[in-house]
Amino acid sequence: EKNGTENYTSARDCGSVLRPPPPAAYINKDASEKIEEAMRDQIARNRYKIPAGVPEDVDTANKTGELFTTNSEGVSVDVQNDAAIIYAKDHPYILVVMTAVHGAGEGEMHEQIAEISAEVYKAVTDAESEEVSSKEAATEEAAAEGTSR
């Protein structure tokens, strides 16, 4: 019986969807703009992934994915994914992070995705580490507040 865990994709597939399409490649320009607007308005819970690794003043548009399942041996697997457009000044880029970890908690995986995002941001923009580390500290504080409720 199928339970929705049979879907397969790759970081390349997800990233290619976020690339600017040729004119009229999607339904139409208005629909593309609405999709991007929805991605920019991700709920706060999902702002802990890729957007958490970039400075507050950098706009992002992202689509997250989560799946909690068990593998064929009955071991629980936590899947946390994020695909984002990062509108860094002079260096906009796309980043996709896909994970599947046995026994990791959701918050821990959010932090790891944010750390990857911060490293990529620094590499792409040649940013000073202080800019990103202040965002990481705020993210860790917000994550701690979220888990203490």
Position 148 pLDDT exceeds 50: no
Share of the chain above pLDDT 70, in %: 70
The Cα 134–Cα 140 span in angstroms is: 10
The Cα–Cα gap between 126 and 133 comes to 14
pLDDT tens profile 88-121: 998 899 999 998 887 767 778 889 999 999 999 9
Q: Identify any residues that bridge with 102 across adjacent strands, giving them in sequence order.
A: 77
CA distances from 86 to 46, 58, 71, 95, 116 (A): 15, 7, 33, 8, 13
Over residues 70-98, mean pLDDT = 88
pTM for the full model? Answer: 0.72
Query: Rounded mean pLDDT of 62-76?
Result: 83
**Dist CA 5 CA 100 (whole Å):** 12
User: What is the C-alpha separation between 136 and 81, in angstroms, rounded?
Assistant: 19
